[in-house]
Amino acid sequence: MLLLACTCLQALSAQQQNRLLGDPVDMSLDFKDFHNTFFFADKLASFDPVTVKGKISWKRVSLYTRQAFDVNTILPQDLKMLDFPGEAYQQNPELSFSVDFITPRTLRIRMLTTPVEPKPFDSPMLVKEPGKDTSWKYSKTKTGYEYQSEFGKLLIEENPFRIILMDANGKMLTDTRRWVDNDTTQVKVIPFNFIKKGIDNSREINPVFSLSPNEKIFGCGESFTKLDKRGQIVNLFVTDPQGPETSAMYKPIPFFMSSRGYGMFMHTSAPVTCDFGNTYVGANKLFMGDEALDLFVFIGEPKDILNEYTDITGKASMPPLWSFGTWMSRITYFSQKEGYEVAAKLRENKIPSDVIHFDTGWFENDWQCDYKFSPSRFSDPQKMINDLKKEGFHISLWQLPYFTPQNKFFTEIIDKNLIVKNSKGEMPYEDAVLDFSNPNTVKWYQDKLAGLLKMGVGAIKVDFGEAAPLEGIYASGRGGWYEHNLYPLRYNKAVADITKQTTGDNIIWARSAWAGSQRYPLHWGGDAANTNIGMEADLRGGLSFGLSGFSFWSHDIGGFVVSSPEQLYRRWLPFGFLSSHSRAHGASPTEPWLYNESFVKAFRESAEMKYKLMPYVYAQAKECTEKGLPMVRALFVEFPNDPGAWTVDDAYLFGSDIYVAPLMENTKGRQVYLPGGKWIDYQTGKTYDRGWNDIEAGEIPCIILVRDGAVIPHAKLAQSTDKIDWTNIELKVYGDKSIAKGLVCLPSNNILVTLVLNKKGNEYQVEKGKIDGVKYQVK
């Protein structure tokens, strides 16, 4: 028996070792290992309804298999504790449980799996300490305790223990699974539990909630698979998936929302695996690598949930106006001469643009980050920055947090203890990885970036960040198990803080993220393949990211990996320019003049469209920062009561009023689902009704529609955002409703103003939203 146990433990260890470096961690595997001891939430051992605190009795159970008709099924069996000395431990431990009411829509559930209270930790995921709400009213029930607010109800049942979440009308939203929810012949769903691992006695917790018929699940970060996560297994573990065509993620976020009207934020940085009805269609299993449960629960429609979630983890800061313009890039420009040439060509071809990005080649040695322009290829980088700034261009620079042995800083950062170490105190990888949990590292790093920002560099590309050593030891005192997923957040913050401090702008260009990273815009979708599938997956990723609390997002127009086929690039252009931020980047050529004159025209038309729409873009962006909304927005966020809106993942709303359906294949049109009421074609003026429509694209190869009754502010075309005339704004009214509404926000004061226009005869007049010094022209 001992030999068998050792062999099984070794097999488990080997299984973990077989995971390639960088692969996601699947937490569900630990809960399939019967060498672990299982504890199930059995009943309330004690509870104070005033403080909403108590203890749960966790029943010690073993799982075993039973053969029946040549099928092995799992059954539970009460387990007698064999720990020694027996009087020192509990057969069924009674462990702390509490509920805090944060707002009328938000509550926080916490549970421990050990008697030891965790040490206070200043979580970088939270923007502030959550508040307390006193509006939830308590009443005793036959089976337990009930708390009700204006928007929802929480029931806690004593024996067997169960948590039930309801809306204000009494509809059950979800509840925790119990043993009694299984039948007597087999265990289809292992209920709410935690395990004590046989390999090291550490704990991991597995909340299990019910899923209802037709329920849909959304969020979990920039996930490129089907937008509705129901039926999927999602690993929340930061990794480099080498593009958006797999289930792995650069930007996993431990947050999701349900179509039934609730959302959950798993406040942890340990690996998490979410089984959203994959192994059992009616169960939502959250396999968490954390020893404690800290779960925020939100009640409401999607807009309510996003607002509540981002109140806790932070809302996006407002990026500078110039960042919404065109970013011109490739991998890579190598010289000052190329920078001047690209700027000149953009202006010569009258392509509105604001940013030129230098990727991996601005150092003396390609990919070897030393924070200095190559002296052999940049004779006077300061002059270049100044000259291009006069022409309306900002400079963006690439860098990364890993240092190869050939890098000039390799020895220095090791000697100064600025890197992540292994348990031996040495380097875990060939490359030295900066430890952003170390304040000394952050200062060293920010000093390097500050030198560039003081030269006038506008933005820093925050590339990589997904490879923080899982087995590393960090200056925070925590291991990689908890620091790996936090690494992008700390990395994002370090760059955003020094950029804001030096230039005054809220801007980075980042690839990796975790919960809280939305405070530091912006992020892009990684290295998409130059294919229809790459484009489609990128859009799903952007929609999912927006449903995870991120307002701003971009992607490499045309794809990244190889030179983009012209017909694909043409179709990707309007999708790119009708995203919050627009960057042409990837393998050469990305510059339109290196294709043909016809393509230059197509590129110009999409860019001009966005620059004319800049008053709309800027106002919508401002509203997003105030409400936690995404610019690239799933239809159901605006139309939660339209069942069809919950099924669409290949079209989106750009802000609140513009509908965008990219052409995912080389066709002249496509079928689209239109929620709500009427929609007006932005290019042709044709009106379409709610429901499924076959629509042909206009001259710009994309379906672009405007909501009936929307006011879309436009500006006169300018070649850079600093040349836009904000004193003369054209208000275009779409449809013929008696009242039309829109938003406007001037960059000079960043105050969001609601526009209301009333129809009098055949003309519209501005009734609300007038701004001193701004002349409106209504069309």
Measured over the CA atoms of residue 361, residue 22, residue 200 and residue 234, the dihedral's sign is: positive
CA dist., res. 302 & res. 308, Å (int):
10
Let me know if 359 is exposed, middle or buried by CB neighbors in 10 A (0-12, 13-18, 19+).
buried
Q: Quick check: 673 and 695 in contact, CB under 8 A?
A: no
List C-alpha distances in Å: 739 to 61, 672, 709, 754: 64, 27, 7, 13
Q: How far apart are the C-alpha atoms of 13 and 156, rounded to whole Å? A: 39
Name all contacts of 414-419 with Cβ < 8 Å and 24+ positions apart.
Answer: 416/440, 416/444, 418/444, 418/445
Contact yes or no for 48/91 (Cβ under 8 A): no
DSSP for 166-218 reads EETT--EEEEB--GGGS-SS--SS--SEEEE-TTT--EEEE-EEE--TT--EE
CA 51-55-60 angle, to 5 degrees, is 165
Alpha-carbon distances of 570 from 129, 536, 666, rounded to whole Å: 47, 14, 10
What lies within 8 Å, CB to CB, of 755 at 6+ separation is: 711, 713, 731, 741, 742, 743, 744, 766, 768, 769
H or E element: which one contains 54? strand 53-68
Residue among 359, 463, 505, 536 flagged as catalytic: 463
> For residues 447 and 654, what is the distance between their CA atoms, to the nearest angstrom?
37
The three-state secondary structure class of 275 is strand
Cα–chain center distance at 374: 35
Q: 218: how many CB neighbours lie within 10 A of its CB?
A: 28
Q: Which residues pair with 660 in a beta bridge?
A: 652, 704
Positive or negative CA dihedral for 411, 407, 491, 455?
Answer: positive
Annotation says 466 is catalytic: yes
Q: Which of 157, 245, 275, 527 is catalytic?
A: 527
What would the DSSP string read from start to end of 690-727? SEEEEEE--SSSEEEEEETTBEEEE----SSGGG--TT
Tokens of 276: 């959203």
Cβ neighbours of residue 48 closer than 8 Å, sequence gap 6 or more:
54
SS3 137: strand
Residue where the block lists tokens 């539970």:
76
Dist. CA 309–CA 175, nearest whole Å: 20
What are the CA-CA distances from residue 668 to residues 74, 677, 698, 756 (Å)? 54, 24, 9, 36
**Cα-based angle 555, 561, 565 (whole degrees, multiple of 5):** 85
Residue ranges in 321-431 assigned as alpha helix (H): 336-348, 381-390, 410-415
**Quick check: is 463 catalytic?**
yes
SS3 228: coil
Other Cβ atoms within 10 Å of 46 Cβ, number: 11
Structure tokens at 291: 């020893």
Catalytic residue among 42, 304, 466, 505: 466
Tokens linked to 699 = 């001259």
What lies within 8 Å, CB to CB, of 408 at 6+ separation is 368, 370
Q: Measure Cα distances from 656 to 94, 131, 305, 524, 707 in Å.
A: 49, 30, 17, 21, 8
Q: Cα separation of 643 and 395, whole Å?
A: 45
Looking at the annotation, which residues are catalytic?
463, 466, 527
